[in-house]
């Protein structure tokens, strides 16, 4: 491509709301243009990068036998009613009516559509397994679209769905997809980690996220210092604590604790480690229909993990409650404990099951109980995993310790089981002629988010640094003086030669200052720029290796060989 003809409107200023490097540089380097909140147009460079990512995905999908389809973007609302997700997705679904007053939804994901495509077409176990995918625009009316391509409202996703006649077969496919996704990210040159993810109300271990490691990531992941274990904090688990503080030995008693409301005050008052105190966290739990106040109890040294709390209550969401609301419900803020369940629903952290020597609120102003033995309520109370793991906690699989790192979720693979096939009555005849719902898996990858993730992981203060497999052009050929015929001639020669050898190449043939062209090249982030300047008089040319930020001086006649070598390395 000739830069003089290319549509790459680079600019000095970043959008005022851009905080992430990828948002800043993809905007400044002329890859994307914002149309409205969460809506972007892709300009030629972005389009090339997207196609490259899509090609890699297509190749890896073909290797594992997944077949590409394309489902319509506009989806009938009845399908969403059938699965029940029309409520669950809530305002993220963009709904509209056609001229005949039929209600439609812009597809945010396509489980329902894919099940609808397959049901009544695959009717026998003989035609299973089946894995279908598409790469398609999605629309989610995100509450807070932000960070450019990272969290758009309209975005591109690769979404795949598999259908099976047994759970063993689903497990096999799930592993094959994990391996395929791993290859996609490896080929893209990304540093990533596959972590255990929240499986929502479905539960189980059949949900993994592919996280590109970057400080700007919105997800916190817990990783083990010794083994491969990694998990989103929303789902992370831990072993029993290695060292448990000394227990405060006390009889069961009601103590006068005037105005002692916080965990800090409480452990200070009794001179005990907050491990032996019970923290109550009151939340308004929101269901499809209605809401209620729920008290979550965890150890004083822990924090409530929101997603775990949502899963434990099978809620749509949880929100804060005011002290007034608690008082109105007959609760005593600051002194709430798990021994009286009559005023609100309770959920108690699993780590507290049978806990001894605890101190908790007495549900009476200015009073706490000491010497509480929770085994007295172990039969009647509801226990669930509620606490967020802490850095330094022990790995659930080995004796390593957990630490936190930030990740960008670029993929999510999930064992769905029969959730959608049952809801949509998608069934086949098994070997015994019995009607059975399909066992399903779903595999998502954020294509447009990947564009941003690559840059989050690969940039510097001057701009983008594309990895070899993702770069819009591998080589940029540049001369410093358009009036110097020898420079121009060599540039044209290299441009032609590289093209002939199937290297994606751009020639910066603009009549611009050298510094200006150089800034542009660094901002766009070509892996290699051949700089033909004054030194050509001495038979020398330079190659800028963008990732290494290194200029190599090369003999004029060796440039082509050298650049081919660098590309292959
Ligand atoms: P997030 O937790 O980031 O909101 P999600 O869990 O809702 O994402 P999935 O439903 O798992 O997303 O979708 C599959 C993939 O699609 C995600 O792993 C992510 O890469 C991508 N994706 C989801 N939402 C967006 C978005 N708003 N903009 C860009 N990519 C997205
Ligand atoms: Mg996800």
Integer Cα distance of 375 and 386 in angstroms: 18
pLDDT at 540: 97
Strands 402-417 and 439-446: antiparallel
Per-residue pLDDT of the chain (569 residues; tens, 9 = 90+): 999 999 999 999 999 999 999 999 999 999 999 999 999 999 999 999 999 999 999 999 999 999 999 999 999 999 999 998 898 888 899 999 999 999 999 999 999 999 999 999 999 999 999 999 999 999 999 988 889 999 999 999 999 999 999 999 999 999 999 999 999 999 999 999 999 998 765 545 589 999 999 999 999 999 999 998 999 999 999 998 878 888 888 889 999 999 999 999 999 999 999 999 999 999 999 998 899 999 999 999 999 999 999 999 999 899 999 999 999 999 999 999 999 989 999 999 999 998 999 999 999 999 999 999 999 998 889 999 999 999 999 999 999 999 999 999 999 999 999 999 999 999 999 999 999 999 999 999 999 999 999 999 999 999 999 999 999 999 999 999 999 999 999 999 999 999 999 999 999 999 999 999 999 999 999 999 999 999 999 999 999 999 999 999 999 999 999 999 999 98
So what's the pLDDT on residue 242? 76
Give the ligand with the smallest distance to the CA of 219. 1
Q: Could you tell me the distance, in angstroms and rounded to a whole number, from the CA of residue 415 to the centre of ligand 1? A: 17
Angle between the N-to-C axes of helices 44-63 and 167-187, in degrees from 0 to 180, rounded to the nearest 10 = 140
45-237+403-456 topology per CATH: BirA Bifunctional Protein; domain 2 (3.30.930)
Cα gap 217→219, rounded to integer Å: 5
**Which atom in ligand 1 lies closest to the alpha carbon of residue 153?**
27
**Cβ density class 353-383: b for 16+ within 10 Å, e for less:** eebebbbbbbbeeebbbbebebeebeeebeb
Distance from residue 219's CA to the centre of ligand 2 (Å): 11
* Burial of 77 (C-beta count, 10 Å sphere; 0-12/13-18/19+): middle
Give the H/E segment covering residue 21.
helix 21-28
How far, in Å, is the centroid of ligand 2 from the Cα of 409? 7
Q: Can you tell me the distance from the alpha carbon of 114 to that of 70, in angstroms, rounded to the nearest whole number?
A: 10
Q: List CB contacts of 425: < 8 A, sequence separation 6 or more.
A: 119, 437
Counting from 1 in the atom list of ligand 1, the atom nearest the Cα of 445 is: 15
User: In a mutational test of the pocket of ligand 1, which residue from 136, 216, 218, 449 has the highest number of ligand atoms less than 8 Å from its CB?
Assistant: 449
CATH code at 253-384: 3.90.960.10
**Residue length, the chain?**
569
Closest atom of ligand 1 to CA, residue 446: 20
Q: Is 487 left (phi over 0), alpha (psi -120 to 50) or beta?
A: alpha
Helix, coil or strand: residue 310: helix
Most ligand 1 atoms within 8 A of CB, residue of 194, 409, 453 to mutate: 409
Distance CA 531, CA 333 (A): 69
Give, as residue ranges, everything with CB less than 5 Å from ion ligand 2.
Answer: 412
Q: Using CA positions, which residue lies closest to atom 13 of ligand 1?
A: 444
Determine which residue's CA is closest to atom 14 belonging to ligand 1: 444
Q: Using a 6 Å CB cutoff, which residues line ligand 1?
A: 109, 140, 142, 151-152, 155, 157, 409-412, 444, 446, 448-449
Q: What's the rounded Cα separation, in Å, for the pair 445 and 412?
A: 6
Q: What's this model's pTM, rounded to 2 decimal places? A: 0.91
pLDDT of residue 569: 86
Structure tokens at 261: 């409301």
- The residues, ordered by sequence, that sit 6+ positions from 293 with a Cβ below 8 Å of its Cβ are 282, 283, 284, 285, 321, 325, 326, 329, 331, 344, 345
Q: Can you tell me the distance from the alpha carbon of 112 to that of 495, in angstroms, rounded to the nearest whole number? A: 49
Q: What is the structure's pLDDT at 455?
A: 98
410 alpha carbon, closest ligand: 1
- Ligand 1, residues 200, 410, 412, 413: which to mutate, most atoms within 8 A of Cβ? 412
Protein residue whose Cα sits closest to atom 31 of ligand 1: 446
* Widest CA span in the chain: 95
Q: Are 142 and 151 in contact (CB under 8 A)?
A: yes
SS3 301: coil
Dist CA 507 CA 521 (whole Å):
11
What topology is assigned to 475-568 in CATH?
A: Rossmann fold (3.40.50)
Neighbours of 485 (CB within 10 A): 9
Closest residue (by CA) to atom 6 of ligand 1? 412
Closest protein CA for atom 8 of ligand 1: 409
Q: What's the CA gap between 182 and 190, in Å, rounded?
A: 10
**Ligand 1 atom closest to Cα of 157?**
16
Point out the ligand 1 atom lying closest to the alpha carbon of residue 109.
Answer: 10
Hey, which residues does 296 pair with through a beta bridge? 281, 347
The CA 413 to ligand 2 mean position distance, Å, reads 8
Please state the domain extents for the chain: 45-237+403-456, 253-384, 475-568
Cis peptide before 71 (omega within 30 of 0): no
Distance CA 484, CA 492 (A): 13
Ligand 1 atom closest to the Cα of residue 218 is 3
User: Which protein residue's CA is at the shortest distance from atom 1 of ligand 1?
Assistant: 409
How is residue 257 written in tokens? 């604790």
CA of 283 to the centre of ligand 1 (A): 26
What pairs with residue 348 in β-bridges?
Answer: 297, 383
* Same CATH fold assignment for domains 45-237+403-456 and 253-384: no
| pLDDT at position 205 | 57
Angle (CA) 434-438-444 rounded to 5° is 175
Question: 152 CA distance to ligand 1 centroid (A)?
Answer: 9
Report the Cα 123 to chain-centroid distance in Å.
35
Which atom of ligand 1 lies nearest, measured to the CA of 140? 27
Which candidate, 199, 171, 194, places its Cα nearest to that of 385? 199
296 Cβ contact list (under 8 Å, min separation 6): 280, 281, 282, 283, 304, 309, 312, 346, 347, 348, 349, 386
Q: Which atom of ligand 1 is nearest to the CA of 152?
A: 28
Closest residue by Cα to atom 11, ligand 1, is 412
């Amino acid at each position: 491509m000739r830069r003089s003809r290319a549509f790459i409107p680079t600019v000095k200023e970043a959008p005022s709301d851009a905080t992430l490097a990828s948002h800043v540089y993809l905007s400044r380097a002329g890859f994307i243009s914002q149309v409205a909140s969460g809506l972007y147009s892709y300009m030629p460079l972005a389009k090339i990068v997207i196609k490259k990512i899509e090609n890699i995905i297509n190749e890896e999908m073909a290797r594992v036998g997944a077949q590409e389809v394309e489902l319509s973007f506009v989806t009938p609302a009845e399908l969403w009613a059938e699965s029940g997700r029309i409520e669950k997705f809530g305002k993220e679904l963009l709904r509209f009516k056609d001229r005949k007053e039929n209600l439609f939804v812009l597809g945010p994901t396509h489980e329902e559509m894919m099940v609808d495509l397959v049901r009544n077409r695959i009717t026998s176990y003989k035609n299973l397994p089946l894995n279908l995918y598409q790469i398609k625009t999605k629309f989610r009316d995100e509450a807070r679209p932000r960070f450019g391509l990272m969290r758009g409202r309209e975005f591109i996703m690769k979404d795949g769905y598999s259908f099976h006649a047994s759970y063993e077969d689903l497990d096999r496919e799930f592993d094959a997809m994990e391996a395929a996704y791993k290859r996609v990210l490896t080929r893209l040159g990304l540093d990533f980690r596959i972590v255990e993810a929240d499986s929502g109300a479905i539960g189980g271990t059949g949900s993994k996220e592919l996280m590109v490691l970057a400080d700007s990531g919105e997800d916190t992941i817990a990783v083990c210092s010794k083994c491969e274990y990694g998990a989103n904090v929303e789902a992370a688990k831990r072993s029993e604590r290695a060292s448990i503080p000394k227990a405060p030995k006390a009889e069961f008693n009601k103590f006068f604790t005037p105005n002692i409301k916080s965990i800090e005050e409480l452990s200070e008052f009794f001179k005990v480690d907050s491990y032996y105190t019970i923290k109550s966290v009151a939340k308004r739990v929101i269901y499809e229909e209605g809401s209620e106040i729920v008290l979550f109890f965890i150890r004083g040294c822990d924090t409530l993990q929101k997603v775990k709390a949502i899963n434990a209550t099978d809620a749509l969401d949880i929100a804060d409650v005011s002290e007034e609301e608690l008082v109105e419900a007959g609760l005593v803020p600051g002194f709430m404990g798990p021994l009286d369940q009559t005023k609100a629903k309770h959920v108690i952290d699993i780590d507290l099951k049978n806990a001894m020597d605890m101190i908790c609120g007495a549900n009476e102003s200015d009073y706490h109980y000491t010497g509480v033995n929770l085994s007295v309520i172990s039969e009647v109370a509801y226990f669930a995993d509620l606490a967020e793991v802490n850095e330094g906690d022990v790995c659930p699989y080995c004796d390593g310790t957990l630490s936190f790192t930030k990740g960008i979720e670029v993929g999510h693979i999930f064992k769905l089981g029969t959730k959608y096939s049952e809801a949509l009555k998608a069934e086949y005849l098994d070997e015994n002629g019995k009607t059975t719902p399909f066992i399903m898996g779903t595999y998502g990858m954020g294509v447009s988010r990947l564009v941003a993730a690559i840059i989050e992981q690969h940039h510097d203060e001057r701009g983008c640094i594309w990895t070899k497999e993702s770069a819009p052009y591998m080589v940029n050929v540049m001369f410093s003086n358009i009036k110097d015929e020898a420079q121009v001639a060599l540039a044209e020669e290299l441009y032609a030669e590289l093209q002939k050898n199937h290297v994606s190449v751009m020639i910066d043939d603009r009549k611009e200052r050298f510094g200006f062209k150089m800034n542009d090249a660094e901002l766009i982030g070509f892996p290699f720029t051949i700089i033909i300047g004054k030194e050509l008089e001495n038979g020398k040319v330079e190659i800028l290796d963008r990732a290494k930020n290194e200029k190599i001086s090369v003999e004029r006649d060796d440039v082509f060989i050298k650049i081919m070598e660098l590309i292959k390395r």
